[in-house]
């Protein structure tokens, strides 16, 4: 899995929460710390203890550069790596809002670039990352990127870069929707007389367990919903509210994802 990186090296530009989660996964899977160079102006104590090349001179021709800096730092950080452009070093971006065209403009039009969008469950190895490469990325390059991204969860390939805004709205922003669902469920439980602690415990476990069941089950979420809905029972009573065509989940979620998609397009313009 890491043969190319072991021989040529990997550069990690930025090592905040996402970069650290990925690096931790790679090291656990056997990537030698000596094969990793990290550029980060404010390294954490954890990073300092990993034995990687931290803020040292970079290798001559690394196999891959992972760009994990915040978007507002991109203009300052990316030009430092321009010497790797138009070669066979792959640039894998996990930075939100930065298009493939931007990387090509800064690094060179022939630079192999993969754009991806992970989400925050990557911190516990349960993320999902959508990715798309430019015309200079071959199958081996995509496989390398997927192998690296698998350290933080699942991967899906996109058909075109235009899908990235919708993916950002769905999975990138999606964890916040689920966290808000937990908040709302807990508040509803309190309104029915439960203590805040008990209501929150029930909400967290219910959402977490249902999500795991939906992911692991061979049945669709629709069928799982039907399975738990007894005719004229408590679940049906609740679903008649939640599934209302005018004020229920379907219209709220459609509007929420649409708003996030539009905002993603604005930020990337």
Task: Tell me the DSSP string of 126-166.
Answer: -EEEEEEE-TT--HHHHHHHHHHHGGGEEEEE-SSGGGHHH
Give me the count of residues in the chain. Answer: 269
pLDDT of residue 257: 97
The annotation status of 265 as a binding-site residue, yes or no, is: no
Which class in CATH covers the domain with range 174-268? Answer: mainly alpha
**Residues of the chain with confidence (pLDDT) below 70:** 1, 269
d(CA 148, CA 66): 10
CA distances from 130 to 152, 162, 255 (A): 12, 12, 22
| CATH no., domain 3-160 | 3.40.50.720
The annotation status of 15 as a binding-site residue, yes or no, is: yes
Nearest to 215 by CA among 103, 127, 100: 127
The annotation status of 164 as a binding-site residue, yes or no, is: no
Q: Which residues contact 83 (CB under 8 A, 6 or more apart)?
A: none
Model confidence over 52-79: pLDDT tens digits?
999 999 999 999 999 998 877 888 888 8
The annotation status of 211 as a binding-site residue, yes or no, is: no
The annotation status of 71 as a binding-site residue, yes or no, is: yes
pLDDT of residue 80: 86
The annotation status of 52 as a binding-site residue, yes or no, is: no
pLDDT of residue 1: 65
Model confidence over 137-184: pLDDT tens digits?
999 999 999 999 998 899 999 999 999 999 999 999 999 999 999 999
Boundaries of CATH 1.10.3730.10 in the chain? 174-268
The annotation status of 28 as a binding-site residue, yes or no, is: no
The annotation status of 176 as a binding-site residue, yes or no, is: no
Boundaries of CATH 3.40.50.720 in the chain? 3-160
The annotation status of 262 as a binding-site residue, yes or no, is: no
Burial class (CB in 10 A: 0-12, 13-18, 19+), 197: exposed
pTM above 0.85, yes or no: yes
């Amino acid at each position: 899995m890491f043969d190319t990186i072991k021989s040529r090296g990997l550069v990690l530009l930025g090592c905040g929460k996402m970069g650290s989660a990925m690096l931790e996964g790679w090291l656990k899977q056997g990537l030698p710390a000596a094969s990793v160079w990290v550029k980060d102006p404010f390294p954490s104590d954890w990073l300092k203890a990993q034995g990687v090349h931290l803020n040292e001179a970079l290798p001559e021709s690394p196999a891959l550069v992972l760009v994990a800096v915040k978007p507002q730092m991109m203009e300052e950080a990316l030009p430092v790596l321009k010497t790797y452009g138009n070669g066979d070093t792959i640039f894998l971006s996990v930075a939100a809002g930065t298009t493939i065209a931007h990387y090509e403009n800064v690094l060179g039009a022939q630079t192999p670039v993969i754009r991806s969008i992970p989400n925050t469950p990557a911190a516990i190895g349960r993320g999902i990352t959508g990715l798309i490469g430019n015309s200079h990325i071959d199958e081996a390059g995509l496989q390398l990127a997927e192998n690296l991204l698998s350290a933080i969860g699942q991967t899906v390939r996109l058909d075109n870069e235009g899908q990235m805004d919708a993916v950002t709205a769905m999975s990138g922003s999606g964890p916040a929707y689920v966290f808000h669902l937990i908040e709302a469920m807990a508040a509803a439980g309190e309104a029915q007389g439960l203590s805040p602690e008990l209501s929150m415990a029930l909400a967290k476990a219910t959402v977490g367990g249902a999500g795991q069941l939906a992911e692991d089950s061979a049945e669709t979420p629709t069928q799982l919903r039907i399975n738990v809905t007894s005719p004229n029972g408590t679940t049906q009573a609740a679903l008649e509210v939640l599934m209302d065509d005018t004020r229920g989940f379907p219209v709220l979620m459609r509007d929420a994802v649409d708003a996030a998609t539009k905002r993603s397009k604005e930020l990337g313009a």
